[in-house]
Amino acid sequence: MACDTGIKERTSKKEISQEQETITKTKEKKMSSTMVLRKMPEFNMSAYDAKTGHYTTVSSEDYKGKWTVICFYPADFTFVCPTEIAAMNAKYDEFQELGVEILPISTDTKFSHKRFVETEPILKGLKLTIGADTTKTVSESFGVLIEEEGVALRGRFLFNPEGICVAQEVQADSVGRNVNEFLRQVRAWQHATATGEVCPAGWRPGKKTLPVNTDVEQMTGRVGDYITIEEILS
């Protein structure tokens, strides 16, 4: 899972009994695999603060009452991963203006994070703190751990100030995520939360929203009378 190989099917190396398999299937029926609409899992772990150059600790308590991005990546000293971290860092001030905190996490140690930041040119000037999920329990609780490899998928989760996940994106390792699209989603979620309106596909600040909070009966089944596909794609 080091960003330099092709996509491989996930397989489990663990042998489980029929009874364990039954229990697992029962749990899967009761709980969705998605983090969306669930509370942020509690966590506490070591971290490296690139802004200060010092080791620290981070916990779920640090993000209570805040818009928060928890962003998992497979590993330090890989290829796509530093480009994603650098892209998030490049937009750090815009996220901060929106009151959004960002926490990248991998299963590497805090020592690896420090060396990674110090040696990778594209990470020069990094302002982010990087979580060290060495026990792999955080990645597992977010549902992104590849157990047989001991690393996380590319999982990005947006939590509102109530600690509820409102958006997630999880993908395999070979393709990086788009920070501009994610920033657009953050703005849309904040607008929808503040106004009670809903945001159509591709919404950006200044574009038309759907005021279902005031005109729900008139708009039901008639969205196309209110907004056109040209407006959506513009």
**104: its two tokens:** 């990248």
SS3 107: coil
DSSP run (H or E) holding 69: strand 67-72
**The residue count for the chain:** 234
CA distance 156 to 104: 9
Q: Report whether 146 contacts 13 (CB < 8 A).
A: no
- Cβ–Cβ under 8 Å, residues 166 and 192: no
The active-site residue, picked from 71, 81, 165, 199, is 81
Pair of tokens at residue 6: 């092709």
> Is-catalytic flag, 199?
no
**Which structure tokens are listed for 62?**
């640090």
Task: State the catalytic residues.
Answer: 81
